């Protein structure tokens, strides 16, 4: 059976840096509160007229293709993970197909929020294992600064989230014991309302139109039950990482690098302690980018890879938790 291997990584973040002191000007918050509770010092916000979710994804994908030293024309399929697509429909994958001037290959969008990238990687891995495709682009891209309430009412969320994109090129290999070893995906829809953007939606369309006509506000901003999400996250991260290690008969001490979804620095640190990992074995960049949801893992993976912290033969674990609820992991022999 074929195996799938990440042969290239890339990322793109908008040039516009928004520091915590910039946020202090917009809402009732402080640098001290943000750093202590979330670990974030700055984040990137998109530039209107320059950045879109799909073109950021395309830029990250081009960098991943360059890194893999292959031509875009070699891509057989595109998987695009985002919670912030530019259109209600169609998805962003088809826009990337066009922006990369590719043949009429298939393009699939994934809506699994912070776990979207690992879900996408898992789908790609199955396509490669069955022999259906040989080379797949998996992309995560988000513009969240545009959907946040940037007044003091939205401060608990607006300070955490940021914009950015990351991508990997996955390719079939016959090499034994290398590439993606296993992927693990979970969901728990009973907690859907704990981290959500409710509108616009098919469910509430008539009410939204009426509220707009009446001059009232629609329920368009994200809602997060922060404390509940925090507790769930610390539990699920450790659980799903252990699931991946157990399946492959490894211990946490066998890991060379853990790339956790950049939800909140305190969550990553809690997970690191629970697994007994040293600082050099966990990649965190939430300090610079905030939580970029579906893009956070491929951005972090690309940074760690280019920094020479992930090398051939290394055991790498990706892990995520987010809205859905969804959580997932992937264990990779690089
Ligand atoms: N600046 C200043 N004060 C803020 C604030 C901000 N940006 N956001 C909230 N506060 C205030 C609250 O109003 C509250 O004030 P009060 O005590 O006077 O009522 C106080 O800070 C504590 O708020 P609380 O929501 O209880 O804080 P917390 O310790 O739970 O931290 C989060 C809030 C969001 C940082 C935290 O819950 C968290 O990280 N949750 C998980 C988030 C996450 O990872 N989401 C992504 C999942 S993928």
Same domain flag for 36 and 185:
no
pLDDT at 218: 66
Residues 227, 92 share a domain: no
Q: How confident is the model at residue 199 (pLDDT cuts 50, 70, 90)?
A: confident
pLDDT score at 33: 97
Whether 16 and 153 share a structural domain: yes
Residues 109 and 256 in one domain: no
Q: Domain for residue 246, yes or no?
A: yes
Percentage of the chain exceeding pLDDT 70: 99
Contact call for residues 164 and 52 (beta carbons, < 8 A): no
How do residues 18-30 score in pLDDT, each as one tens digit?
A: 999 999 999 999 9
Residue 97 forms part of a structural domain? yes
Among candidate residues 307, 296, 287, the one with its CA nearest the CA of residue 17: 287
Q: 164 and 240, same structural domain?
A: no
- Given the residues 2, 41, 184, 261, select the one marked as catalytic: 261
Q: Tell me: do 188 and 321 sit in the same domain.
A: yes
Whether residue 211 is contained in a domain is answered as: no
Report pLDDT digits (tens) over 66-90.
999 999 999 999 999 999 999 999 9
Is the residue at 300 inside a domain?
Answer: yes
Averaged pLDDT for residues 87-115 = 97
Listed residues 138, 173, 208: the one ending a domain: 173
Query: pLDDT digits over 175-191, tens only?
Result: 988 999 999 999 999 99
Verify that 21 and 155 share a domain, yes or no.
yes
Strand partners, 173: 3
pLDDT of residue 90: 97
Q: What pLDDT score does 219 carry? A: 76
Residues with CB under 6 A from ligand 1: 29, 33-34, 37-38, 114, 155-156, 159, 224, 226-227, 229-230, 233, 263-264, 267, 291, 321-322
Give, in order, the Cα–Cα distances in Å from 34 to each of 22, 24, 40, 155, 306.
12, 10, 6, 10, 28
Q: How many domains does the chain have?
A: 2
Classify residue 69: in a domain, yes or no: yes
pLDDT of residue 214: 73
Average pLDDT, stretch 306-332? 97
Domain range for 113 is 3-173
301 and 183 together in one domain = yes
Among the listed residues 11, 55, 114, 317, the single catalytic one is: 114
Mean pLDDT of 50-55: 98
In this structure, are 38 and 14 located in the same domain?
A: yes
For residue 287, the domain's CATH number is 3.40.47.10
Predicted pLDDT at 215: 65
Angle of the 31-38 helix axis to the 265-275 helix axis, nearest 10:
30
For residues 11 and 124, membership in a common domain is answered with yes
Percent of the chain with pLDDT over 90: 90
Both 231 and 165 in a single domain? no
Question: Is residue 209 a part of any domain in this protein?
Answer: no
* Backbone φ and ψ of 275, nearest 5°: -95, -10
Tell me which residue has its CA closest to atom 25 in ligand 1: 226
Whether residue 214 lies inside any domain: the answer is no
| 248 and 132 housed in the same domain | no
Q: Is residue 263 one of the residues assigned to a domain?
A: yes
Residue 44 has a pLDDT of 98
Query: Of 106, 140, 173, which one is at a domain's C-terminal end?
Result: 173
pLDDT reported for residue 111:
94
What's this model's pTM, rounded to 2 decimal places? 0.95
Each residue's pLDDT tens digit, 211-249: 777 766 667 889 999 999 999 999 999 999 999 999 999
For residue 209, the model assigns a pLDDT of 72
């Amino acid at each position: 059976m074929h195996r799938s291997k990440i042969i290239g990584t890339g990322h793109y973040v908008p040039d516009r840096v928004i520091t915590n002191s910039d946020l202090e000007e917009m809402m009732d918050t402080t640098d001290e509160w943000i750093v202590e509770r979330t670990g974030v010092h700055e984040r990137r916000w998109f530039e209107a007229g320059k950045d879109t979710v799909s073109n950021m994804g395309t830029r990250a994908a081009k960098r991943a293709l360059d890194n893999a030293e292959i031509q875009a024309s070699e891509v057989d399929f595109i998987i695009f993970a985002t919670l912030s697509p530019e259109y209600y429909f169609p998805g962003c994958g088809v826009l990337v197909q066009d922006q990369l001037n590719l043949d009429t290959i298939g393009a699939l969008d994934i809506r699994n929020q912070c776990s979207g990238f690992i879900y996408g990687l898992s789908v790609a891995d199955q396509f490669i294992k069955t022999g259906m495709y040989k080379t797949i682009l998996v992309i995560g891209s988000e513009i969240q600064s545009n959907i946040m309430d940037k007044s003091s009412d939205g401060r608990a969320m607006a300070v955490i989230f940021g914009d950015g994109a990351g991508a990997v090129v996955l390719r079939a290999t016959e090499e034994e014991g290398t590439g993606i070893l296993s992927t693990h995906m979970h969901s728990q829809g009973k907690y859907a309302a704990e981290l959500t953007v409710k509108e616009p939606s098919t469910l509430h369309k008539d009410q939204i139109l009426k509220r707009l006509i009446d001059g009232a506000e629609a329920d368009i901003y994200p809602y997060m039950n922060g404390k509940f999400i925090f507790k769930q996250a610390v539990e699920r991260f450790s659980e799903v990482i252990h699931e991946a290690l157990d399946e492959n008969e490894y211990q946490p001490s066998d890991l060379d690098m853990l790339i956790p979804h950049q939800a909140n620095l305190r969550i990553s640190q809690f997970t690191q302690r629970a697994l007994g990992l040293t600082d050099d074995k966990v990649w965190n960049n939430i300090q610079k980018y905030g939580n970029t949801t579906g893009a956070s893992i491929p951005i972090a993976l690309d940074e760690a890879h280019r920094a020479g912290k992930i090398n051939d033969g290394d055991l790498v674990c990706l892990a995520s938790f987010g809205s859905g609820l969804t959580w997932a992991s992937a264990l990779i022999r690089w």
